[in-house]
């Protein structure tokens, strides 16, 4: 250690000797330290008697041979020696003092907080001073006692300033440690980012903020890419803009939803739209590693105070899920962390508007939720928005796609983040649409999305291949012409007859986004879960204005007369309630109309039966799927066939190779019918007359 610490350390030691005027043990520690480090701090002990006394006094203390006279003489000599050091301040010490003053000015620290912080900073950056303090700490009952002795401040005031209510912890300059240890560092530590920032050679106010908060975040999407949020987008924009303009405290916005739904990107786009700077805090430490939960919270507290009073600034605290895990260190759900004062400062008194993002809303405790200014759920954007987002991504990365690949990509039920990754894969691999299709297929499968079932377009439904008891084309045309939205359909009949395909096609005709949900996906193992899932899916359709399709609704609308458990009745009642008041189109498909509750059937605006193909339709389907005529003599002999049966046989042909043999096609179709194991009227299986 050089002379840069001479002035400050000498003052600390004088304060300590004044604070503990009769502490023989403390004087012994100081003598030993000066004997070992005196010359290193510029205190040259020229008096041989004094030099000998510095070594002799500690030995006398150990032997318990210290007289009153020896104590007073040694104490006076040490105070005189320290007085010489107080009058000298090295250049390096002046530089460090100025850096700490920059920090104090930026964070509005008063003189006493700055003095306390300086002790900890010197303690953590100087090995010799650290050894002195740690040795002294063993002689004190509490860290506040030692800091008060070194600083010359009142002990009670020091204790208050080192508490959670004090400015040093509240501003994130100190973090409380375990309090279990023999060293001062076991009680308090300076966050590494603060310590490293103060050691920057060219430190100034602007540089300090950049080091401690990070770089301003920039986005990749435009404001129009989020038009699917509707009024929500505009409400948030106005709220944030006026909150900043009026210097409102406690502005907190929670955006929650599944990973990859665009929460973080929206924050960046919102800031850019308002002309604000956005800083994401607590993402990584100064070494580029993932910070701990405590470090993330300290980074937020520090950023709040660094940006206090600045115009056009927003803070982003991304993915707070890890702070909400109960039982883990640093969790906001721990009683010792979630004190009323702590919560108030974090969510009610924060000077800079903060946007929080969360993946799992179930982790959020009500005590935190009610402190949020506004809460917004993020979902996967509808197809129209996906079209704009994908177009922008392709332009930015310079990737060209065929129209069919583009249609497939925007029809895939994946998030914007997945689209971005797929486009980036196509760019790097330089294989265009094939690479994008490959990447989307792998990503969507891993995320549980069946891409083949989500890719539906104009040409995926052929009314000529459907045997329904009403004119489906005419129904679609009239609904589209009159722009009717409050209606419902029950499509029933054997599997594979085209019920789900028609529902999707009708949504396309009405220019609405289909929201397809399987009935089995809504069933929960515990009482009340199914009812909640039913309510959630209808609410989602209302928020998005989507065309709701409930596939295989049998399990949700079973006849209450056959119910054996109360929950079987309650889930049907929940469905009936939502069916009555839902303001947008919804379609239910079922293979078992007879099992549905009679009250449910009365609530459907339209009921339509889908049956097996007629003889003429069988001939048409044969030509459509296999590209060859069947012959009228066969049309009446092939019964119980559906478009789904033809699709399965064509898939079989694709796997086994081109067949081109009518007899083999008929054999395969016969096998499909026989494997249905069902009776239709007097017809059993598949008949060849």
Q: Output the pLDDT for position 540.
A: 86
The residue-averaged pLDDT of 415-424 equals 80
Q: Output the pLDDT for position 85.
A: 62
Residue pointed to by tokens 């739209």: 273
From the list 572, 574, 552, the residue with the least C-alpha distance to 563 is: 572
- How do residues 333-372 score in pLDDT, each as one tens digit? 454 444 555 666 678 888 899 999 998 888 887 878 888 9
The residue-averaged pLDDT of 495-502 equals 91
Most confident listed range (2-16, 87-101, 234-248, 414-428): 234-248
Average per-residue pLDDT for the chain: 81
Q: Output the pLDDT for position 304.
A: 86
pLDDT band, very low/low/confident/very high, at 46 (cuts 50, 70, 90): low
pLDDT at 688 over 60: no
pLDDT at 549 over 90: yes
| Distance from C-alpha of 556 to C-alpha of 574, rounded to nearest angstrom | 9
pLDDT at 19 over 70: yes
Q: Output the pLDDT for position 682.
A: 40
Q: Output the pLDDT for position 87.
A: 53
The residue-averaged pLDDT of 588-606 equals 87
pLDDT band, very low/low/confident/very high, at 676 (cuts 50, 70, 90): confident
Q: Residues for the chain: how many in total?
A: 689
Q: Output the pLDDT for position 284.
A: 63
Q: Output the pLDDT for position 330.
A: 47
Residues near 139 by beta carbon (within 8 Å), at least 6 away in sequence: 23, 25, 26, 29
From the list 539, 548, 570, the residue with the least C-alpha distance to 557 is: 570
Q: Output the pLDDT for position 6.
A: 57
66-69 contacts, C-beta under 8 A, 24 or more apart: 66/24
Q: Output the pLDDT for position 600.
A: 83
How far CA 180 is from CA of 79, 337, 425, in Å, comes to 33, 17, 51
pLDDT band, very low/low/confident/very high, at 73 (cuts 50, 70, 90): confident
| Residue predicted with more confidence, 485 or 475 | 475
DSSP state of 380: P
Share of the chain above pLDDT 70, in %: 84
* Residue 458 near residue 476 (C-beta atoms within 8 A): no
Q: Output the pLDDT for position 566.
A: 72
Q: Output the pLDDT for position 466.
A: 92
| Distance from C-alpha of 535 to C-alpha of 575, rounded to nearest angstrom | 8
pLDDT at 240 over 90: yes
The residue-averaged pLDDT of 158-183 equals 82
Choose the weakest-confidence range: 273-282, 422-431, 444-453, 593-602: 444-453
Tokens describing residue 166:
């004090």
- How do residues 373-413 score in pLDDT, each as one tens digit? 999 988 877 666 777 778 888 888 888 877 777 777 776 76
Tell me the torsion sign for CA atoms 14, 20, 23, 29: negative
pLDDT at 128 over 50: yes
pLDDT at 634 over 80: no
Q: Output the pLDDT for position 157.
A: 93
């Amino acid at each position: 250690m050089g002379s840069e610490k001479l002035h400050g350390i000498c003052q600390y030691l004088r304060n300590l000797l004044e604070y503990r005027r009769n502490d023989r043990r403390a004087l012994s520690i100081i003598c030993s330290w000066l004997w070992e480090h005196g010359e290193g701090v510029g205190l040259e002990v020229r008096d041989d008697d004094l030099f000998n006394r510095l070594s002799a006094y500690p030995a006398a203390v150990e032997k318990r041979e210290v007289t009153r006279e020896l104590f007073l003489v040694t104490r006076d000599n040490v105070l005189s020696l320290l007085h010489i050091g107080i009058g000298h301040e090295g250049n390096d010490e002046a530089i460090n003092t100025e850096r700490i003053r920059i920090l104090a000015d930026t964070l509005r620290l008063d003189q006493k907080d700055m003095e306390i912080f300086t002790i900890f900073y010197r303690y953590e950056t100087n090995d010799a001073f650290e050894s002195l303090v740690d040795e002294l700490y063993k002689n004190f009952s509490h860290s506040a006692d030692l800091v008060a002795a070194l600083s010359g401040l009142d002990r009670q005031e020091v204790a208050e300033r080192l508490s959670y209510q004090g400015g040093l912890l509240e501003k994130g300059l100190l973090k409380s440690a375990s309090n279990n240890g023999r060293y001062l560092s076991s009680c308090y530590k300076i966050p590494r980012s603060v310590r490293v920032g103060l050691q920057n050679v060219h430190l100034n106010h602007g540089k300090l903020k950049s080091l401690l908060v990070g770089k301003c975040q920039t986005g990749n999407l435009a404001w129009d890419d989020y038009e699917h949020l509707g009024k929500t987008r505009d409400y948030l924009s106005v709220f944030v803009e006026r909150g900043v303009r009026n210097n409102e405290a406690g502005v907190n916005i929670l955006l929650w939803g599944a990973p990859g739904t665009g929460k973080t990107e929206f924050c960046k786009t919102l800031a850019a739209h308002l002309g604000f700077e956005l800083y994401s805090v607590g993402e990584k430490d100064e070494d580029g590693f993932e910070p701990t939960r405590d470090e993330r919270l300290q980074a937020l507290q520090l950023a709040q105070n660094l940006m206090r009073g600045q115009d056009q600034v927003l803070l982003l605290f991304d993915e707070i899920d890890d702070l909400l895990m109960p039982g883990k260190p640093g969790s906001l759900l721990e009683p010792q962390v979630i004190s009323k004062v702590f919560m108030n400062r974090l969510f009610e008194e924060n000077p800079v508007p903060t946007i929080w993002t969360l993946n799992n809303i179930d982790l959020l405790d009500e005590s935190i939720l009610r402190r949020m200014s506004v809460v917004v759920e993020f979902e996967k954007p509808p197809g129209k928005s996906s079209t704009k987002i994908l177009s922008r991504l392709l332009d930015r990365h310079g990737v060209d796609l065929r129209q069919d690949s583009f249609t497939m990509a925007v029809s895939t039920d994946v998030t914007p983040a997945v689209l971005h990754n797929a486009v980036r894969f196509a760019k790097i691999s330089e294989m265009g649409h094939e690479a994008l299709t490959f990447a989307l297929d792998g990503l969507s499968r891993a995320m549980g999305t069946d891409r083949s079932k989500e890719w539906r377009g104009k040409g995926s439904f052929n009314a000529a291949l459907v045997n329904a008891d009403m004119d489906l084309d005419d129904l679609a045309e009239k609904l589209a012409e009159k722009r009717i939205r409050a209606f419902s359909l029950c499509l029933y009949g054997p599997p594979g007859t085209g019920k789900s395909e028609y529902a999707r096609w009708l949504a396309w005709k009405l220019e609405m986004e289909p929201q397809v949900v399987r009935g089995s996906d809504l069933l929960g193992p515990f009482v009340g879960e199914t009812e909640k899932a039913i309510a959630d899916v209808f609410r989602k359709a209302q928020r998005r204005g989507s065309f709701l399709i409930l596939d295989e609704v049998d399990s949700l609308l079973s006849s209450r007369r056959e119910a054996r458990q109360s929950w079987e009745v309650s889930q049907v009642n929940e469905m009936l309630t939502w069916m009555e008041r839902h303001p947008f189109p919804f379609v239910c498909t079922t293979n078992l109309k007879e099992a549905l509750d009679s009250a449910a059937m009365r609530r459907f605006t339209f009921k339509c039966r889908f049956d097996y193909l007629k003889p003429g339709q069988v001939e048409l389907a044969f030509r459509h799927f296999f590209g060859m005529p069947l012959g009228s003599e066969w049309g009446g002999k092939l019964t119980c066939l559906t478009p789904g049966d033809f699709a399965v046989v064509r898939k079989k042909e694709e796997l086994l190779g081109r067949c081109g043999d009518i007899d083999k096609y008929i054999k395969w179709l016969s096998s499909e019918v026989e494997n249905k194991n069902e009776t239709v009227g007097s017809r059993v299986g598949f008949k060849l007359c």
